[in-house]
Amino acid sequence: MSNSKKINNELSLISRYTGLKYSKYILLVLLIIVYYPMPATPFYIFLASFFTPVVLSLIDSTHHDAKDATEDFILLYTARKHNFTIQKYKNEQHSYIITLFLLCIWQIKISCQDMYEMPLRAVPALLITVYISTRIIIKIFIKHKIKYNFMNLNI
């Protein structure tokens, strides 16, 4: 693989990881806000979203003691700056999928039961939309920010 393709791949991985991380933080804050009118379910989703990467990293640390693939990165300084490792990226990605699955189940549960009035019935769908769009927007922003910093030598 040529260096430019490898750099673009590394840049994409770092920006995706950062987007996953910040979208999770925003979702956690929104789940805390939603907990007041809709008790129990947001709290369980909050716990699942918060502890899934931790549990996955503990499981992985007991199975593998190999070196991380980020040591071969060309953009090693940028990876360290954003606290990126391949395993953290995989854990955050799995956590993202599990959290989206739980949010979808919550939306289906609310839609099938008439337990809330209309403004509160749309909360899980709104959280899903914010979660996905925040990930995409932050990924694009971080990717352009890193490129801008390299072009202007603001390393």
Q: Which helix (H) or strand (E) holds 50?
A: helix 41-63
Q: For residue 60, how many other CB atoms are within 10 A of its CB?
A: 13
Give me the domain span that covers residue 146.
Answer: 3-151
For the stretch 34-87, pLDDT in tens is 887 777 778 888 888 889 888 888 887 776 655 566 667 778 888 888 888 888
Under 8 Å between Cβ of 47 and 102:
no
Rounded to whole angstroms, the Cα distance separating 124 from 29 reads 14
pLDDT at 36: 75
pTM recorded for the entire structure: 0.84
Domain total in the chain: 1
Q: Mean pLDDT, the chain, as a whole number?
A: 84
Task: Give the pLDDT band (50/70/90) at residue 92.
Answer: very high
Which among 66, 60, 116 is positioned nearest to 90, based on CA atoms? 60
User: For residue range 15-32, what is the model confidence (pLDDT) as tens digits?
Assistant: 999 999 999 999 999 988
CA–CA–CA angle 43, 15, 19 (5° rounding): 20
Average pLDDT on 8-13 reads 89
Query: How many Cα atoms occupy the beta-carbon half-sphere of 84 within 13 Å?
Result: 26
